[in-house]
Chain A
Amino acid sequence: MRHLISMLLQNEAGALARVAGLFASRGYNIESLTVAATHDEAVSRLTLVVFGDDITVDQVVKQTAKLVDVIDVAELTRRDHLERELSVVRVEGDGEAIDRYLARAGARLLQRDGGHSIVEYTGRTDDVDGFIDGLRNVADIADHARSGVAAIERVPTALPDLSRA
């Protein structure tokens, strides 16, 4: 079962390591992990994707919620949310064929140098998978970087307002 977990972390040294460590110590391979400061620079948002059974993941999430650095944590899998992942790919191949594919897929060309192109695509994880598969049909993939998932709830009030706690 895929679990998408989102949390707000204090932007402190070691905070990320402690969260990652809780999952790693249970033998979970973290599928994707993104962290960056939010509009409040003291706070980072961490988005994490793991596969595991519901009960065990639920227990890890509860343990995560005890970490002092964690401001809030939610499992978005069970909530109405939007998620996106950025993919940047270096390909070798015919520019026109690549351009036609990019237009069809809704992707962008970032750079072209002779037969080398760097392209960008953003979408849900499975859309990114599909984009990469399609790209293989028109070009050779030389290098590939994916950002991991960033996600946000559709409804902003689903979590407690900490200022009233």
Chain B
Amino acid sequence: MNAQPDIGDIGRPASNHPLAGQAMTGADIVVQVIADEGLDVLFGYSGGAILPVYDALFRYNQTHTLDDGGERLPLIVPANEQGACFMAAGYARASGRVGVALVTSGPGATNAVTPVRDSMADSIPLVVICGQVPTGAIGTDAFQEAPIGTIMGACAKHVFLVTDASTLEATLRTAFHIARSGRPGPVVVDIPKDVQNAPLVFHGERELPVRGYRARLHAVESATPDDDACRVFFAALAAAERPLIYAGGGIVSAEAADALRDFSQAFGVPVVTTLMGIGGVDTTDPLALGMLGMHGTAYANYAMDDCDFVFALGARFDDRVVGVPDKFAPKARTIAQIDIDPAEIGKVKAAHWHHVGSLDVSLRALTAYGRDIGFAPDRRAWHAHVTALKAAHPMNFCRDGDLIQPCAVIEAINRITGGHAIITTGVGQHQMWAAQYFDFREPRRWLTSGSMGTMGFGLPAAIGAQFARRDLTVIDVDGDASIRMNIGELETVTTYGLPVKIVVLNNAGDGMVRQWQKLFFRGRFSASDKSLHKKDFVRAAQADGFEWARRLDDAAQLEATIADFLAFDGPAFLEVVIDPDAGVYPMVGPGASYAEMITGEWIPSRHVPVAHEAEPTGMF
């Protein structure tokens, strides 16, 4: 464990950058590095400690225009820094590129904490640049000072506090590298105001050594399963009769959807996905079984109960998927796992076979090996079993009655968009219904706060996604409680004339909380009821400039209203008054196994329903 000379300093004396050697302030360098990274939009809210960067950006955009006269680096201003960072995250999730937010010190930076943690938990590449009080004032309780290094250090993939101005350029470039490489994540760069104002020379290419990180990254990026590993893998797969792929968000992060489809089809292995893995496989594919877990499809969960080989791909056996680890995949004789993060291997369930490396490269290597050895087992019995599960336990809900069912709203939208729109959500029942009832044909069409479960994600994420994909319809499927959390961003939609479609499924409260209170707290609806709230969502949207803003409460008007809503050429807001008692089913209760899954009234269960323990639970 001897320290070695720097190996990561890839700075070269003669840079090819046309601006190399030019005198710039720190703030100019911030803007130039962002431009060099290929960003075409930034999100941020100004304030005292970030003013030099905002000024540099203004000057940059004065001299750098697009052919249509637009700014080269437009800055989108939200209502709140949380909005800015979720917009950057929505941009990153929809595009696969690094999203960037610029915020000021103190409250600006602390408002960014939630989206930074959210992005860490879902492995989303983000660079958040925070102003900080001048170096000499740090630690004096100065105006708008907060200990961002400490706060963000516990939340982000990494945080840099730039105290030496000469390292600013290399630090910024390294921040982008760390955000996008390996298991992606958010990187925070905290820049004191005096560093922004420092007279510096631009180098054009330089990064920090971060040699431990680079060495580990090099090791995982260059790792492919060798022939021995492939042989062992295929021997186990050959011995299995009922193999199942359990695909997580890593498939999307690694752009490995094609490799997954090839593997699945080449060897006839059906696929279940996590919430974050949705879109990693075409949900309309016969071998796709949809989402598994707490609110997964009954047939996905039954398939997991029945399978004898689990192939976990970029999935981390989260408690919302696994429930009780000892009872998860109880018949699996082999658990095989590929992840880019060594800490995920065997974290919850021991893996019999594993590989640490890029999912895309690894899956392709396995597929090639399997084809070379002519691996073609007869999976007809297993496929018939899976098909029968789908036929016997389909997703369903109450299809008659006067009240509008939320799932009917989603089905109606889905009939029009056909799985090609970008869907964002808040968190709660509407999020689960959207996950269950939309088709997703491709990755990066489903943007949701998976691990953190941050209410208020949907609207700003939709704004960011629309900037990333101006060619696609972006729909925020939200709840009445979730949208309140960042409702100030309604104005941002109209300010920038974005054709974002917002549909609020209004059940007058925190529906998921109510569902748990009904099941586990004997119907004591503590603080989850909003039926006495006076908010008029349509007028709120109109006040924020929505020309198309309507309320739908007549089931007979559902199809026509949704068609009109989606066809509107511009921002549109639709509030749908839904059945307040609609629940999310299936449901595997907290701390329960799949065998105890409740499928509800409308989805046939293959077990005799288990009598429900209506006791408060220690599980969360």
Contact = CB atoms under 8 A, between A and B. Distances in A.
Scoring A13, A70, A156, A162 by chain B CB atoms within 10 A of each residue's CB, the highest score goes to A162
B16 interface: no
Nearest to B187: A68
A100 interface: no
Interface string B155-183: 00111010100000000000000100001
A21 B152 CA distance: 12
Given A59-B347, A74-B1, A18 B153 contact: yes
B605 to A, nearest CB: 35
A165 B341 contact: no
Interface string A66-78: 1111111010000
B526 interface: no
B497 interface: no
Nearest to B341: A66
Nearest to B150: A17
B7 interface: yes
Contact of B159 (A14, A39, A43, A160): A14
B4 A162 contact: yes
Contact of A8 (B3, B6, B341): B3
A157 B5 CA distance: 16
Nearest to A44: B3
Given A14-B149, A14-B150, A18-B154, A156 B2 contact: yes
A70 B7 CA distance: 15
Contacts of B383: none
B533 interface: no
B1 A153 contact: yes
A156 B3 CA distance: 12
A68 B149 contact: no
B212 interface: yes
A17 B347 CA distance: 24
B218 interface: yes
A66 B5 contact: no
Contact residues on A (Cβ < 8 Å of other chain), bracket: 35 or more
Interface string A36-74: 001110110000000000000001001101111111101
Tell me the dominant secondary structure on chain B's binding face: mixed
Contact of A68 (B1, B3, B6, B158): B158
B215 interface: yes
A126 interface: no
Interface string A126-153: 0000000000000000000000000001
Contacts of B154: 18, 21, 25
Contact of A14 (B153, B178, B183, B212): B153
Contacts of B150: 14, 17
Contacts, number: 78
Scoring B1, B7, B163, B219 by chain A CB atoms within 10 A of each residue's CB, the highest score goes to B1
B218 A165 contact: yes
A161 interface: yes
Contacts of A59: 343, 347
A38 B3 CA distance: 8
A65 B3 contact: no
A155 to B, nearest CB: 11
B1 A6 contact: yes
Interface in B221-260: none
Contacts of A68: 157-158, 178, 210, 212-213
B214 interface: yes
B402 to A, nearest CB: 50
A42 to B, nearest CB: 8
B522 interface: no
Contacts of B163: 13
B330 interface: no
Contacts of B218: 165
B342 A162 contact: no
A18 B153 CA distance: 6
Given A6-B1, A74-B1, A65 B153 contact: no
Contacts of B7: 162-163, 165
B327 interface: no
Interface string B128-167: 0000000000000000000001100110011101010000
Contacts of A62: 342-343
A51 B7 CA distance: 35
A8 B5 CA distance: 13
B211 interface: yes
A10 B1 contact: no
Scoring A25, A39, A163 by chain B CB atoms within 10 A of each residue's CB, the highest score goes to A163
Contacts of A67: 158
A8 B210 CA distance: 12
Contacts of B214: 165
B342 A65 contact: yes
Given A63-B343, A71-B3, A153-B1, A10 B212 contact: yes
A65 to B, nearest CB: 7
Contacts of A6: 1
Scoring B2, B3, B158, B210 by chain A CB atoms within 10 A of each residue's CB, the highest score goes to B3
Contact of B1 (A14, A66, A159, A165): A159
Scoring B5, B7, B183, B213 by chain A CB atoms within 10 A of each residue's CB, the highest score goes to B213
Nearest to A62: B343
A40 B1 CA distance: 12
Contacts of A43: 3
Interface of B: 1-7, 149-150, 153-154, 157-159, 161, 163, 178, 183, 210-216, 218-219, 341-343, 347
19 contacts: A8-B1, A10-B211, A13-B161, A14-B153, A14-B161, A59-B343, A62-B343, A65-B216, A68-B157, A68-B178, A68-B213, A69-B212, A70-B212, A71-B3, A71-B211, A74-B1, A159-B1, A165-B215, A165-B218
Given A13-B161, A70-B212, 6 more contacts: A42-B3, A42-B6, A63-B343, A65-B343, A68-B178, A72-B1
Interface of A: 6, 8, 10, 13-14, 17-18, 21, 25, 38-40, 42-43, 59, 62-63, 65-72, 74, 153, 156, 158-163, 165
Counting from the closest, the 10 A-B pairs by CB-CB distance are: A71-B212, A165-B215, A62-B343, A40-B3, A163-B4, A43-B3, A68-B158, A159-B1, A162-B4, A68-B213
